[in-house]
Amino acid sequence: MLKLGEQQTRELRRLQLGELLLRNLNALGQEAERDPLTGDILARDGRGHVRRLHLDPLGYVGGVTTPLNRRWHMENDSEGHLQALTLPSGMRFGMRYQGSKLVEISDDQQHVWRISYDAQGQPRKLTHPDQTATVLEHQASGLPTLLQDRLGGVTCFEYDERERLTTLTDPGGRRTRFTYGAGPNPHRVERPDGSAEHYTYDASGRLLSCSVGQMPLFTVAYEGTSHREIRYADGVVLHLTQDARGRVTRAAGPEGEVEFTYDEQGKLVRERQDEQVIEYTYDEAGLLTALVLPSGEQVRYGYDADLRLAEVTDWNGGLHTMEHLPNDRGHQFHAANGVTTSVGLSKAGLPQWSESRHGGANGALLFRQDYTHDEQGRLLSTKDSEHAERSFHYDAEGRLLATQSAGLPDEEFAYDACGNRVRANGEQASFDAADRLLYQGEQQCAYDERGNLISLHEPAGQWYFEYDARNLLVRARTPAGLEVTFGYDALGRRLWKRTARREVRYLWAGEHLVREERREQGQVTIQDYLYQPGTHVPLAMRVDGQVYLFHTNLQGAPERITDWLGRVVWSAVYGAFGLASVSGRVDNPLRLPGQYHDEETGLHYNRFRYYAPRLGRYTSPDPLKWLNGTHFYAYAHNDPINRTDPLGLWSWGGRAVGGGRRRGGGGGGGRGRSGLASTAAGRRRGHGRGAGRQHGPERRGILPLLLPGRGRQGVADDGPLRRRIAAACRGRPPCRGRGGRGAGHRGDRGYGGPRHVVGRHVDGAEKWIFCSRNGRSRRGREGLR
């Protein structure tokens, strides 16, 4: 028998891996070839820029060098296990294994994460640097039966003989029960408070109807696989059409229709909202390069060879440029109004300081911020040149406990086992078995049968709120008797807001508000918004032709606005949960990322629902239901300092400062109970999506985009999972399956994963997931007063 020597094995591995990389890269549309001198793989993107994938002496990938010579260095053992990864910044992560199991991750700052496994090889325990732990138990089949968070709160899962989830017990001991027929999807869901939801399906498992208690909500009628009609109990009828790839091409409702057109690569190139058309163009690498508004005006984007944002041209032709510093240690954003914002980053990619100057990097200082973080990347303190230092304190799950400052009121919070904020700044709060707020201090709340806040009583009077059958707020009345009404398109995006004296109409580009037109007493004001590509962090706005620049905090919420002369014309100071004190000469309704402040109600419109900053929670339950945890009302898992929720669906960690966005992890696991449906329905989900992302090296940007042409697509891209799911399972529990990939909205690739949701049907604002196999000048405090 022929036996290969070690050197021959390595050379064969280099050859085979190289051929595999070549095939995969070329299949992705790259021009890939071997370097004849080194044997490395060279991948050329559509713009001609080359990335180098280094093959180490063992025959494994040993690193990646980008076109601008940024280098990720990888160290592998003889079995191909990644032993260490060094980032361009110099940050080094080490990995240790037992057999094939990863058991330890450490960084060069001596922070260590440890993972242990049960007898079946399933992840059992994740121990964090502060020695708190997340624990997961499984049954013999691999399905999880218990999830214990870092505070000791336990969530339990029970299944029937067909491995369908039958009981979910939350950390407060409350049970939600799921009842099934012959299929995989539940026909009845009974909540801890005794209320129940009912569903019917056709023979192929498609949803036909939904009701809450004895109240019907909607029915669905199908015409083949491309068209469906959703008829709601309040008379609203939606029509949706999909193409062969499962993408929505038309959505029509009482307020008009929306049409989407895609190119051959599946990218959205045209969006028609009644008579208004928005167009998107992309470069050879698939990056968004222009957004064309109905007026014909364009916003243009440019990128460097590493696919990072390099320049933005606004509506008026103003050029804003981004200069990335060597070794990924910071950047400078040069705005067209002469203000330069410089940002310094740690080796882990966390902002350490930022300052804005007028007249270039050495010009007159306008303002400066300094930041410190803990070992898990959470913000510990901020110091603003115009404000006193402010510190933040968290529990082990990352929930905010307190803020302290010499210049601002201190804040203090406490939570029960289920995540309800039972104390806020001295006010006691009480909740029912469905986590609905009953009272906080002198404020008393009431809800409809679907869990929407319909009245709030306080000393100043009574607030009233009315919703349609889609759980969208359609009417509000203030204690003073002011009535506000709202209208939405078939996708649930708000189209207009009206009072007796004013009407505001809105224009959208995908999930981004890009224009509003205000009409009041014969006067018309047009306000446009511009965002950093691929984010909900605002970059600039234009009011009646005048361009202003946003300066945001680490969350991406506007803190200051400068005019074309570099003068600060608007500023805000935020409470911990987004309640703002505002002063300025211009009107800016943007608050936390994705949130729009309604001055009439004090609520923030947050795309799929409304947020009450004074209450620190949403007014309606999460449309994602169990896909985002067991709590349906909490904002960002009660960590509003380090996480955001731009769509009111799925919280997201990251940093936004000085024209740049540093992304962290998605919702889940380690910080708040997120993604429990995927935990309960997925064999290999481990400790939830947040276990590594929020506290481990992935949270710090350990895994770069290694392949060319895979960068952000800007506002036309539906982006991360929270937008891809986009309100799946509103009003119903998650279903379960055994793998595969599904088609979805605008080129979605489905919510993959073993035993989980893989195919979906979209009804605009209401989106459902199925299994493919199993089926202005102003000063004051905002908010409800």
Contact 418, 170 (CB under 8 A): yes
- pLDDT above 60 (res 30): yes
Judged by DSSP in three states, 638 sits in helix
- With cut-offs at 50, 70 and 90, classify the pLDDT of residue 29: confident
Q: Contact, 291 vs 270, CB < 8 A?
A: no
369: left (phi over 0), alpha (psi -120 to 50) or beta: beta
At 421-446, the pLDDT tens digits run 999 999 999 999 999 999 999 999 99
Six-digit token string for 251: 């959505």
Work out the mean pLDDT of the chain and round it to a whole number: 85
Structure tokens at 581: 């004190």
Contacts of 130 (CB under 8 A, 6+ apart): 375, 376, 396
Please give the structure tokens belonging to residue 472: 């969208």
Q: In degrees to the nearest 10, what's the CA dihedral of 630, 633, 636, 641? A: -130
Pick the range with the lowest mean pLDDT from 5-9, 473-477, 489-493, 717-721: 717-721
Q: Give the side-chain half-sphere CA count within 13 A for 8.
A: 4
Task: Give the pLDDT band (50/70/90) at residue 371.
Answer: very high
- Report the pLDDT value the prediction gives residue 302, as an integer from 0 to 100: 98
List pLDDT tens digits, range 381-396.
999 999 889 999 999 9
Confidence of residue 626 (pLDDT cuts 50, 70, 90): confident
- 2 pLDDT tier (thresholds 50, 70, 90): low
What kind and span of H or E run contains 145?
strand 144-148
746 and 549 in contact (C-beta within 8 Å)? no
Say what percent of the chain tops pLDDT 70. 83
pLDDT of residue 559: 98
- Are 437 and 455 within 8 A, CB to CB? no
Residue 412 pLDDT greater than 70, yes or no? yes
Beta carbons of 593 and 644 less than 8 angstroms apart: yes
Both tokens assigned to 586: 């211009």
Over the stretch 486-495, which tens digit does the pLDDT of each residue have? 999 999 999 9
The reported pTM is: 0.86
